[in-house]
Amino acid sequence: MAITIKSEREIELMRESCRLLGIVHKEMEEAIRPGVSTMDINIIGDTVIRKLGCIPNFKNYNGYPASVCVSVNDEVVHGIPNKKRILQEGDIVSLDAGLIYKGYHSDAARTHGVGQISPAAQKLIDVTKASFFEGIKMAKAGNHLHDISNAIDAFIQPYGYGIVRDLVGHGIGTSLHEDPQIPNFAQRRRGPKLHAGMTLAIEPMINMGRADVDWLDDDWTVVTEDGSWSAHYENTILITDGEPEILTLY
DSSP code of residue 38: H
Quote the CA–CA distance of 169 and 184 in Å, as a whole number. Answer: 8
Quote the CA–CA distance of 139 and 159 in Å, as a whole number. Answer: 23
**In this structure, how many other beta carbons lie within 10 angstroms of the beta carbon of residue 126?**
13
Which C-beta is closer to ligand MF3: that of 32 or that of 201?
A: 201
By CB under 6 A, tell whether 215 contacts ligand MF3. Answer: no
Q: Are 216 and 76 in contact (CB under 8 A)?
A: no
Which C-beta is closer to ligand MF3: that of 119 or that of 246?
A: 246
Binding window for ligand MF3 (CB under 6 A); candidates: 5-13, 15-23, 58-66, 156-164: 58-66
Min dist. Cβ of residue 234 to Co ion (A): 5
By CB under 6 A, tell whether 58 contacts ligand MF3. Answer: yes
Quote the CA–CA distance of 250 and 244 in Å, as a whole number. Answer: 16
Binding window for ligand MF3 (CB under 6 A); candidates: 15-23, 60-68, 144-152, 221-229: 60-68
Q: Which does 64 bind (CB under 5 to 8 A by kind): Co ion, ligand MF3, none?
A: ligand MF3
By CB under 6 A, tell whether 107 contacts ligand MF3. Answer: yes
Residue selected from 15, 78, 85, 140 as contacting ligand MF3 according to rule CB under 6 A: 78
Which C-beta is closer to ligand MF3: that of 63 or that of 158?
A: 63
Which C-beta is closer to Co ion: that of 109 or that of 121?
A: 109
Q: What is the DSSP string of 7-48?
A: -HHHHHHHHHHHHHHHHHHHHHHHH-STT-BHHHHHHHHHHH
By CB under 6 A, tell whether 198 contacts ligand MF3. Answer: no
Where helices occur in 88-201 by DSSP H, the ranges are 119-136, 145-156
By CB under 6 A, tell whether 208 contacts ligand MF3. Answer: no
Q: How many Cα atoms are found within 13 Å in the side-chain-facing hemisphere of 111?
A: 34
Quote the CA–CA distance of 223 and 229 in Å, as a whole number. Answer: 9
Applying CB under 6 A, which residues contact ligand MF3? 58, 61-62, 64, 69, 78, 96, 107, 109, 170, 201
